[in-house]
Amino acid sequence: VDDVILKMTYGSLYVLTPEFEVIITPYQFRLERNVKGLHHRLDVQIRLRVPEEKITVAPHGIIGQGWDGDGKAINGEQDVFPTSGEFTTYAQAKGAIEGIADDYMLAGPFATAFKFSRFGLTSAAPRDVVKLVAAGVLNAPKDGVSSDFVGSTEVDFEAK
């Protein structure tokens, strides 16, 4: 459908579009990372298949910051986890994304509309990092490790 190819291998699902390759791979949580009742996770990798300046609809939010034209990472706030007891996150990527977490909420499981939605657009520019940093919406970018893939990384809290 619309130049989208789905390919399944033994361990991963590949979704290919003209501009992106998405690889979804299931894994089990390591025991020390296990959350009560949760034992599995999905790792998602996203890779450009075209030069960054050729993207017709620039992605937004956490994924979009990987291709906003500056080649740098922007770190949001990070939660400070207690050693025991219940914990509710407060960081919510503040300083890394435009708006607040509620701006990205969807009305239902098949909804596509939200404040920064790109769904159904035929063109959209990447966010203006310089303007958003100057306005205090985003934290200042930092040089990061670059590769073909954009995805999440584990933070080594012991290394701080």
> In whole angstroms, what is the distance from residue 117 CA to residue 44 CA?
20
Look up residue 152 and give its amino acid.
Answer: S
pLDDT on residue 154: 43
Identify which of 142, 158, 2 has the alpha carbon closest to the alpha carbon of residue 71: 142
Domains of the chain, by residue range, sit at: 1-50, 51-142
Q: Could you read off the pLDDT of 113-145 as tens digits, one per residue? A: 999 999 999 999 988 888 888 888 888 877 655
Show the tokens assigned to 113: 């509309």
- Select from 79, 48, 41, 59 the least CA-distant residue to 147: 48
**Radius of gyration in angstroms for the set of CA atoms belonging to the chain, rounded to a whole number:** 17
**Amino acid identity, residue 97?**
I
- pLDDT of 149: 52
Q: What's the pLDDT at 35?
A: 65
Rounded mean pLDDT, 66-89: 83
pLDDT, one tens digit per residue, over 78-94 is 888 888 888 888 888 88
Whether 107 has a pLDDT exceeding 90, the answer reads yes
pLDDT(31) > 80: no
How many other C-beta atoms are found inside a 10 Å radius of the C-beta of residue 96? 18
Look at residue 85 in the predicted model and tell me its pLDDT: 83
Check if the beta carbon of residue 135 is closer than 8 Å to that of residue 92.
no
Cα 133 to the chain's mean position, in Å? 19
**What pLDDT sits at residue 152?**
45
